[in-house]
Amino acid sequence: MVYLKTDDEIELLREANLLVGKTLAELAKNIKPGVTTRQLDVLAETFIRDHGAEPTFKGFPNPYGPEFPASICTSVNEVVIHGIPNDIPLKDGDIVSIDCGTKLNGFCGDSCYTFAVGEVSETVSNLLRVTKESLYKGIEQAVVGHRIGDISYAVQSHCENHGYGVVREFVGHGIGREMHEDPQVPNYGKRGNGMQLKDGLCIAIEPMITYGSKDIYLLPDKWGIVTRDKSISAHFEHTICVRKGKADILSSFDEIENLIQR
Ligand code: MG
Ligand code: MG
């Protein structure tokens, strides 16, 4: 069931998503060698609750194991998504994808940014750049009259043209009162395929891209998803609303990028 949102609902979604951007920016100030992802999780939960919202990820159900124990997913290097925060300090040259979800006034925010820790190699920064570019290429396709497959194709072709892998098992999604609504938004697909996009459709687009093979496996903690060949992986996500002419991006990287000057 796909729920198109009213303009009032879209503004509530925007508020929840802007809070995610602010939370990620707050974390960006603290991402440096020596910091643990558990410390970042504590900062995130405090920041979200101080702004009157709930961290949607905390206690998120898992059909295969325990609920998610933290307020953010922190996926370091070869971890693609759903990394559980831990006590291992981040090192110079690492990358960490921080996925964050909020619920504010009944609506959900969902956005992810992959950060470089200290100095990273050109190989690594290229993966981050191309993954983020693919997100915006997908967003360019998110206009009335296009189809889900147009978004999927734009993401996949950009990343594969650079020789990167596109994870198939996890996808973007509709978003609203629930964090995961219909439709699914895969990062691979064919132009002209899938559901036609209508004004007011709100979706999260979230390329999960690997430097090497696209093959993944599930960690014994039943959450973390890791590349099979241990190559690094990047993940960028925006929540957007489909509009005529140009998508409306409801989340924001502006505050993050003012801080990290990328
Ligand atoms: Mg997310
Ligand atoms: Mg998402």
Question: pLDDT per residue over 120-146, tens digit each?
Answer: 999 999 999 999 999 999 999 999 999
CA 161 – ligand 2 centroid, Å? 24
Nearest ligand atom owner, CA of 112: 1
CA 173 – ligand 1 centroid, Å? 10
How far is it, in rounded angstroms, from Cα 160 to Cα 246? 25
Residue 32 DSSP one-character state: S
pLDDT tier at 261, thresholds 50, 70, 90: confident
CA 7 – ligand 1 centroid, Å? 23
- pLDDT for the residue numbered 119: 96
- pLDDT for the residue numbered 161: 98
- Average pLDDT in the chain: 97
pLDDT digits (tens, 9 = 90+) for 28-51: 999 999 999 999 999 999 999 999
How far is it, in rounded angstroms, from Cα 67 to Cα 56? 12
Other CB atoms within 10 Å distance of the CB of residue 6: 10
Other CB atoms within 10 Å distance of the CB of residue 168: 14
Q: Is the omega angle on the peptide bond into residue 33 within 30 degrees of 0, that is, cis?
A: no
CA 34 – ligand 1 centroid, Å? 25
Angstrom distances, CA of residue 155 to CA of 40, 89, 164: 29, 32, 11
CA 168 – ligand 1 centroid, Å? 16
Nearest ligand atom owner, CA of 100: 1
pTM of the model: 0.98
CA 119 – ligand 1 centroid, Å? 25
Nearest ligand atom owner, CA of 97: 1
Nearest ligand atom owner, CA of 72: 1
Nearest ligand atom owner, CA of 235: 1
User: Can you tell me the mean pLDDT for 242-249?
Assistant: 97
Tell me if residue 4 falls in helix, strand or coil: coil
CA 83 – ligand 2 centroid, Å? 14
- pLDDT for the residue numbered 262: 54
- pLDDT for the residue numbered 40: 98
- Least Cα distance to 235 among 15, 14, 7, 24 occurs for 24
| Surface-to-core class of residue 63, CB atoms within 10 Å of its CB (0-12 exposed, 13-18 middle, 19+ buried) | exposed
81 residue type, one letter: I
Tell me if residue 165 falls in helix, strand or coil: strand
CA 206 – ligand 2 centroid, Å? 6
User: Can you tell me the mean pLDDT for 181-206?
Assistant: 98
Element (H, E) at 137: helix 122-140
CA 177 – ligand 2 centroid, Å? 13
pLDDT digits (tens, 9 = 90+) for 6-32: 999 999 999 999 999 999 999 999 999
User: Can you tell me the mean pLDDT for 67-91?
Assistant: 98
User: Can you tell me the mean pLDDT for 238-253?
Assistant: 97
User: Can you tell me the mean pLDDT for 222-247?
Assistant: 98
Quick one: what percent of the chain has pLDDT higher than 90?
98
240 pLDDT more than 60: yes
